[in-house]
Structure 1
């Protein structure tokens, strides 16, 4: 394809992706009043009643300006629409990139996309599960005489930032695996830096978590440590296979007068069969034996 044809295809696929995003945003905008807002506010509404200021028996979030509710609904609808339409716009991206990839590169790309999606979802689910404990700890530190009435933009922005922070953080070990697959980062370097990786992971979790409480920090750091250890073990297997493959390629590329790189120890020499010609050459002639 020519450059103009590539640009035309890119324009068409971006237009289709934006159309899918717009339809997803409309669906998220309509979903806002039919379960989405309840789902996002459930961790706050599940807190003990003494931590929340309630004018009535219902759990309500507050909006302090006229356009705050509309902007909040559009923001939540856009984020929900991006999630709902992600299969379609990711497919448009994949269809644009695929013709330029080889078969093994396509296989790696599919595996990488599936793993990154699963890790992001795992991080978001873990963030939502730990959100209740984090809020209870943070709001409880203010004392028994203080009750909170959170504004909807602040609270929902906090929840979304926590979900995104957990989801993106769980992608970091996958990036280490990807760097190892392309040969930039070796298992030896990862294994040697294991303690520093674990320490920096804890520091990273302390700065990234919006709540910055010990419970949420450990809830992010401990799974990331496990994932980094898994990434180190994957790098060990990949480097071992790569070394074996390189040795075989080097062996097949040798000329007739070059020594083999394979390690032939004494045991291999002793157990190797002796050619019949060598036995005849070493066997003394009958006349010599008679002498």
Structure 2
């Protein structure tokens, strides 16, 4: 696949602060790409330079093989952008809002119905935007960014401050956007969201890209142990320690916790002893990778 997005040595400084420090990213066509990092890591600044909103101090960004800066208006029909904070025209309904965006891009109004259906706002089409819930407003914002059928879509924390149900509903919309062949670039603070949605992830901190890989490879590369929990009774902690590959076993409050890097022999042994009651198996997650790379200190 061709690379739809490429950055080469992107740098952005604000006085003595280097917000983005020699960032190199490639995003193949059709990829759902996640850019993750703590607060102030440089995610939004990087995204804005790729979108052509902010001028880099050095380096360059290319989208669809074209330089985005100086501001490349020829790219605008091919990219859709949803910013962190979305603003709508006042006192307009969902349908009227989309009509305005369609007119800005000289798009036929037949697209409006398709966008309303895609984001599940059929029952809200006559509702003013100020009367929408947070999740509904986010879905409308995404519809506005897609009204002109762009090839590349940029989403900056689209599910921030949404409740779990609204987040899950929005995930379905984001999957559909990508399934239709669009390249999607997402920034988010939610590790489960990135792990589920993204084909590839870059983790950035202090303006530098720390690693780039698939979520599965990042998790596997961490080499973290599995934790197996069963109800205490059929097997004691001492007996569990005698099972091959078990590294530790401890019983607490009626639960036996077993740690191992190779769970298969342990699960087989537990099954042979009829000791699978209350079984839970957990491994490392993308959040573990994120914390290992970026640390646990508080960020402003």
- Report the TM range for the smaller structure's normalisation: under 0.3
Question: Quick check: which one's strand share is greater?
Answer: 2
Larger proportion of helix: 1
| TM-score with structure 1 setting the length | 0.23
Higher gyration radius (CA): 1
